[in-house]
Chain A
Amino acid sequence: MNQNISFLLNNTAVNSDLNPASVTLDFLRSNRLTGTKEGCKEGDCGACTVICGSLENDKLIYRTVNSCLVPVMNIHGSHIVTIEGLNLNKSQLSPIQSSFKNEGASQCGFCTPGFIVSLTAYFLNADKLKSKNIMEYIDGNVCRCTGHSSIIRAAGNLKFEFENAPDDFNKRLLYLVDKNIIPEYFLTVKEKLNDLHIELTDNNTSDMPDYYVGGGTDLFVQKPDEMLSSSLSFIFKKNNPDIVFKDDGYCFVSASATVTDILDSALIKKIFPGIAEFSELFGSTPIRNNATLGGNINNASPIGDMTAFFLSLDSDVILSENASERTVSLKDYFVSYKKTVISRGEVLKYVRFKLPQSKYFFNFEKVSKRTYLDIATVNTALYIEYENDYINKINISAGGVFESPKFLSLTSEFLTGKKINAIVLREAVRIAGTEISPISDARGSDRYKRLLLSRLIYAHFIKLFPELIDIKETL
């Protein structure tokens, strides 16, 4: 069952026989690296945040991860940085640590290492520090003591002090070492990773595994104990040089693309120029760094954000088994609560959608109890081709209002060919109400979810076409 796992842990090479499904947090803590804390073990608090550096096309890329959800198999060949690996010699403090001290940005201290680690990742990861919001890098860290005000001040001071760091990665490393933001050993990491001699052989334990494991952000929340004794195939970031690409009039997105990969893709940004506006609503930075598109879709959660997004693009999924492939419309992919048409042995390879041709608009709406870092109560995405005052094409998806992610086919059908005005939308909202069957749960009552979806449908149009519809007309 155990496998040989090699990685660079701070400045030390580790080579251990481990259960590949054991999580990184447990490994760290059992090896007395106790600065990484267990706060929730479901990726919701950030106390266990570590930085994971991996070589991608000979480039060293550093990202934060929730170590409680990362199986050690997924860190094979990587550089793992914990708080202990950020401490400088001779009890000198890094500027990040000093900034926390000066602002009193740590009270009980349990969440603090996670914050320091996440802020360090900002300096290691962001291309252009000036244009990047430093707060985004700590959006997965929760502090219960400070109310975050002092942490925001500490982070703000850091951004101000160091945002002129060079963009080039190698120069950046030298700069960060010079400024004591990271210890000197970071300069030799690439070399050391190359020396690890990672065998990138296929480590599938079975042709018919119980589970394919991507980033693990759902499986290791739902059933971490079961993972330890299941046959697993780890497919995170493997054999997928093309994350997002164009082919034959379609945009293809690899199922193993993480949310971060998708949001960072130049092609996606070009197709959806407004995506940055709602991208922060998808999980947190460390979750986005690990959660894959395939995982989000195959989990078949009625409230998957990426699922709602791609449903509204009338996407197809491409499934493969050995040499054969089949294409299924995402609309037909979900059969019941958490069930899809995928059969055992099949792998979700790509999601594709037709490249928009005519004048189109896109919008995504999500409401949850807490605006950020929360699971949607209701989400919905809208894709619309609108020209000469008529809707040529429209797709509306909705999550949280049905047993599976819902394509609002009747509503979309009704709106096709219509003008946008209050009367039409009122009818559309009424039809949408007949397509859904929300239930009451911890995220909200059925009545609330109905009202909310109706308001979010209006929100799509009010946001995209403010001159055509006013909130007062929706009452």
Chain B
Amino acid sequence: MKDYDIIQHITGKSLFIDDINVPEGTLYAKVFYSKCAHGKILSLDLTESNSIKGVIKIFTYKDIPGINQIGGIVRDECLLAENEVHYIGMPVALIIAESKFIASEASKKILIKYEELPVITDPREAFELGHLSIPPRIFESGNVEDVWDNCDIIESGTCESGGQEHLYLETQGALSYPLEGGSLKVISSTQGPSAVQKVVSEILGISKNKIEVEVTRLGGGFGGKEDQASPWAALSALAAFLLNKPVKLILSRHDDMIMTGKRNPYSSDFKIGLNSEGLILAYEVTFYQNSGASADLSPAILDRSLFHCTNCYNIPNVKATGYCCRTNLAPNTAFRGFGGPQGKFVIESAVYKAAMKMNVEPNFIQRKNLLKENDYFHYGQKAVNVMSGISWDKAEKDFDLLEDVKKIRQFNSVNSLYKKGFAYMPICFGIAFTNTRMNQANALVNVYTDGSVGFTTGAVEMGQGVNAKIREVISRVFSLSHDKIKNEPTNTTRSANTSPTAASSGADMNCNAVLIACNNILGRILNSAADDLGLKNSDGLSVKDEKVLLNDNDTGMSWDIIVENANSKRISLCDYAHYATPELYFDRDSNKGNPFRYHVYGTAFIEVTVDCLRGIYKIDSVKAVHDFGHSLNPVIDLGQAEGALMQGLGWMTIEEILHDKKGKLLTDLLSTYKVPDLHFTPAEVIIKFLDEPNPVGIFSSKAIGEPPLMYGIGAYFAIMNAVREFNSNAAPEFSAPFTPEKVLLKLYENNFSEEALSPAVNNSDNKSI
């Protein structure tokens, strides 16, 4: 079980970065950032802030000994602004002081002047101006142009999906301190220790082997700390390196919300063609992705939107185009689902619109077009072990959904103040980094001479239970109880050149690396035990609950003895192993290949009630059949599914990111940006395990982190259905999140006299709060 970590948490003993006892003489950093979304820096006056007692030093880009560049995919992002600023929140200077408070006071005294330049926040506007971070990406299969004429139904439209704040409860931060010989240790709240190491190395102009990055755990990541933990680590490292002192930088919630990127908002155009039976013949989609001021991970996110643009539907003719549009917002970044949710929301909108035109329920079209065994995805991969129809039919049968639908219709026929709506939401999500190179992991497993085990991998624990899953693998191979197995913090000196813990693949890859290491060790130990027992070889030897068995009979030897014996014979009890996910390839010119190891499927049914008087709503129930494979740890996997689902529901409903025209984030505090709370949780959340083995998964399991988030998309359409029950004049619009504001306006669109909206007598410039 997940006991070790959870016991630390429930007793308040787990140490996050801000909880670590700092080394003596630690200094505190505060980032001074741009208040202008696009402009030239005319002057930067540090005089007054420098004169404050307790201020040690204020750094700007001029102090960077290496190169002032942190762009991962595209080299387009400075650590500290040079002559121009590109978004509000762009770091300009770093104040180092004796206390957090002094650093914060000093930042208020920095004087900066800008020459303001035009601000673009809308991706389509950026596209018109040619502000693209990478050339357009086009995925194509069949030929849509040839097919439109054969379609009985053609619908087109636009679709908007908003950004999403990660709101990891632990804000970004790092603690860096000098080691001997010009080396540096960086303790970072990052999903990607090797990414931090690379950025720090380049900023400081020193080799990677002098930078030790360590991560014990994160207080949540959700993609927000995949690439965007690096700047804060690099800034604290910069100061620690130049001052030769420990430096801690922890972002306040407000600074974190302003300076860091969010889920990419998308604006999209779609066109869908079907025959009269409801079979989808063609689908064309164009994604205008709002990447923010630099590319960050947006190109990779865009690719995943293109991969998942057809969700779990078999569509013979597809043309999907993606534009990575540069705007003057904080660089947007990875967020659980990584472009998948954005792509799926568009196809579901298209299906919904087509269903309206055909006068059928969307689930008729959804069910009819679900992927089947040996269908091909539009990127050329064959769909195998497809669980689409199986999960749909099981949900329908086990939850008796037809009865639910009947009850909903009955409710609506007798209620006028409240209306109910429902939606089915099937999903399909590919598992692997779509950048093939990143699909590798390594692990170090040490068996100590008393039989206890320590391990370390590149995986970062952020609450997803990856270490518990690794313990489960070790426990199964060595047949040891979990309390004999301990994880060490993730550290670049032990696990080098690792991929970030992301793409739902952390457990798959790192467990596989650990499995190889464990098998190697066990092989050597059993060979040694065979020798102890006077056997020719280890055939028939195994360990079970710390006993050594020969053909299932107790040999009288125990685990700790054979371990000790092996060591005395100078046989290694430790192993370092490397795993590369097999059978992956992808040609980025034709955009065809086998990018994913396997796919995760499932189907959810969502029911909502809309208060038609007030425009507020409640998600009553989410019932899903999810394709977990044979779960390595059902408690963890259920928790991941429930948590991801809620983030998906939040993204579709109340989580609203707003900027003004000047590029200023309006929802920059928890008082204005609302994530689901306890009351928001549906009264009924039932997630059933499909429990079909995954032939290529570790112990037949499947990845879990991201896929269930996309069940949340159904909430949008369930709310839309309820609104249309009240107001048949409401035209469907696809603009997530479906906030109470949009719901109320939709409920009363073309549906009441607008007298109440007459302008006021005076229009003073008042504010709220």
What CA separation (Å) do A315 and B464 show in the bound complex? Answer: 52
Chain A proximity of B566: nearest CB distance (Å): 33
A35: which B residues are within 8 A, CB to CB?
11-13
Interface-facing stretch out of B143-151, B174-182, B324-332, B669-677: B669-677
B3: which A residues are within 8 A, CB to CB?
101
State which residues 411-449 of A face B: CB under 8 Å: 426, 429-430, 432-439, 441-445, 447-448
What CA separation (Å) do A404 and B104 show in the bound complex? Answer: 32
State which residues 96-134 of A face B: CB under 8 Å: 97, 100-101, 103-104, 106-113, 116
Q: Which residue of A lies closest to B763 (CB)?
A: A437
Decide: A302 and B169 in contact? CB cutoff 8 A.
Answer: no
The interface bits of chain A over 350-380 (1 if a CB of B lies within 8 angstroms of the residue's CB, else 0) are 0000000000000001011111111101000
What CA separation (Å) do A29 and B640 show in the bound complex? Answer: 30
A302: which B residues are within 8 A, CB to CB?
766-769
Decide: A152 and B252 in contact? CB cutoff 8 A.
Answer: no
B767: which A residues are within 8 A, CB to CB?
302, 337, 403, 439, 441
Decide: A429 and B755 in contact? CB cutoff 8 A.
Answer: yes
| Cβ-based interface call for B585 (8 A) | no
What CA separation (Å) do A370 and B619 show in the bound complex? Answer: 12
Interface-facing stretch out of A195-203, A236-244, A450-458: A450-458
Decide: A337 and B766 in contact? CB cutoff 8 A.
Answer: yes
Decide: B8 and A439 in contact? CB cutoff 8 A.
Answer: no
How many chain A residues touch B (CB < 8 A): the figure is: 103
What CA separation (Å) do A370 and B740 show in the bound complex? Answer: 8
B756 touches which of A97, A454, A462 (Cβ 8 Å): A454
Decide: A435 and B760 in contact? CB cutoff 8 A.
Answer: yes
Chain B proximity of A41: nearest CB distance (Å): 6
Chain B proximity of A27: nearest CB distance (Å): 14
Decide: A104 and B6 in contact? CB cutoff 8 A.
Answer: yes
| Cβ-based interface call for B129 (8 A) | no
Q: Which of A37, A83, A445, A472 has the most CB of B within 10 A?
A: A37
Decide: A458 and B613 in contact? CB cutoff 8 A.
Answer: yes
Decide: B101 and A97 in contact? CB cutoff 8 A.
Answer: no
- With contacts A225-B104, A437-B760, A471-B416 taken as known, whether A147 is within 8 angstroms of B643 at the C-beta atoms is yes
What CA separation (Å) do A150 and B104 show in the bound complex? Answer: 38
A135: which B residues are within 8 A, CB to CB?
678-679
A101 touches which of B6, B462, B654 (Cβ 8 Å): B6
Decide: A87 and B12 in contact? CB cutoff 8 A.
Answer: yes
Q: Which residue of A lies closest to B462 (CB)?
A: A108
Q: Which residue of A lies closest to B684 (CB)?
A: A149
Decide: A474 and B101 in contact? CB cutoff 8 A.
Answer: no
What CA separation (Å) do A61 and B104 show in the bound complex? Answer: 37
What CA separation (Å) do A458 and B745 show in the bound complex? Answer: 16
Interface-facing stretch out of A42-50, A182-190, A246-254, A319-327: A42-50
Interface-facing stretch out of A138-146, A162-170, A271-279, A388-396: A138-146
A146: which B residues are within 8 A, CB to CB?
639, 642-643, 646
- With contacts A40-B669, A455-B613 taken as known, whether A144 is within 8 angstroms of B740 at the C-beta atoms is no
Q: Which residue of A lies closest to B636 (CB)?
A: A104
| Cβ-based interface call for B761 (8 A) | yes
Chain A proximity of B247: nearest CB distance (Å): 18
| Cβ-based interface call for B2 (8 A) | yes
What CA separation (Å) do A258 and B483 show in the bound complex? Answer: 48
State which residues 1-37 of B face A: CB under 8 Å: 2-3, 5-16, 18-19, 21
B678 touches which of A103, A141, A145, A377 (Cβ 8 Å): A141
A370 touches which of B252, B677, B741 (Cβ 8 Å): B677
Chain A proximity of B156: nearest CB distance (Å): 28
| Cβ-based interface call for B275 (8 A) | no
The interface bits of chain A over 280-296 (1 if a CB of B lies within 8 angstroms of the residue's CB, else 0) are 10000000000000000
Decide: B675 and A144 in contact? CB cutoff 8 A.
Answer: yes
- With contacts A152-B678, A437-B763 taken as known, whether A45 is within 8 angstroms of B670 at the C-beta atoms is yes
- With contacts A40-B253, A149-B685, A151-B678 taken as known, whether A109 is within 8 angstroms of B615 at the C-beta atoms is no
Decide: A372 and B677 in contact? CB cutoff 8 A.
Answer: yes
| Cβ-based interface call for B168 (8 A) | yes
What CA separation (Å) do A149 and B623 show in the bound complex? Answer: 13
Decide: A370 and B757 in contact? CB cutoff 8 A.
Answer: no
B756: which A residues are within 8 A, CB to CB?
429-430, 432-433, 450-451, 453-454
Interface-facing stretch out of B202-210, B213-221, B285-293, B590-598: B213-221
Chain B proximity of A231: nearest CB distance (Å): 19
| Cβ-based interface call for A400 (8 A) | yes
Decide: B616 and A475 in contact? CB cutoff 8 A.
Answer: no
- With contacts A32-B21, A442-B658 taken as known, whether A451 is within 8 angstroms of B7 at the C-beta atoms is no
Decide: B758 and A434 in contact? CB cutoff 8 A.
Answer: yes
| Cβ-based interface call for B89 (8 A) | no
Decide: B646 and A101 in contact? CB cutoff 8 A.
Answer: no
B748: which A residues are within 8 A, CB to CB?
451, 455, 475
Q: Which residue of A lies closest to B665 (CB)?
A: A442
B6 touches which of A109, A365, A452, A471 (Cβ 8 Å): A109
B739: which A residues are within 8 A, CB to CB?
369
State which residues 640-663 of B face A: CB under 8 Å: 640, 642-647, 654, 656, 658
State which residues 216-231 of B face A: CB under 8 Å: 217-222
- With contacts A34-B19, A454-B756 taken as known, whether A107 is within 8 angstroms of B465 at the C-beta atoms is yes
What CA separation (Å) do A202 and B106 show in the bound complex? Answer: 35
| Cβ-based interface call for B614 (8 A) | yes
A: residues with CB less than 8 A from B are 29, 32, 34-42, 44-45, 47, 82-84, 87, 93, 97, 100-101, 103-104, 106-113, 116, 135, 138-139, 141-152, 221, 225, 280, 301-303, 337, 365, 367-375, 377, 400, 402-404, 426, 429-430, 432-439, 441-445, 447-448, 450-456, 458-459, 462, 470-472, 474-475
Q: Would you give 14 A-B contacts (Cβ < 8 Å), ordered by A?
A: A34-B19, A38-B18, A42-B253, A107-B220, A110-B16, A110-B169, A144-B168, A146-B642, A146-B646, A371-B618, A438-B760, A443-B672, A450-B757, A456-B614
Task: Known A-B contacts: A100-B9, A104-B638, A108-B463. Give 10 more (CB < 8 A).
Answer: A97-B11, A108-B462, A148-B678, A225-B105, A370-B680, A371-B618, A404-B766, A448-B744, A455-B613, A455-B614
**Which 7 A-B pairs rank lowest in CB-CB distance, beginning with the nearest?**
A35-B12, A147-B646, A403-B766, A109-B9, A108-B463, A107-B463, A110-B219
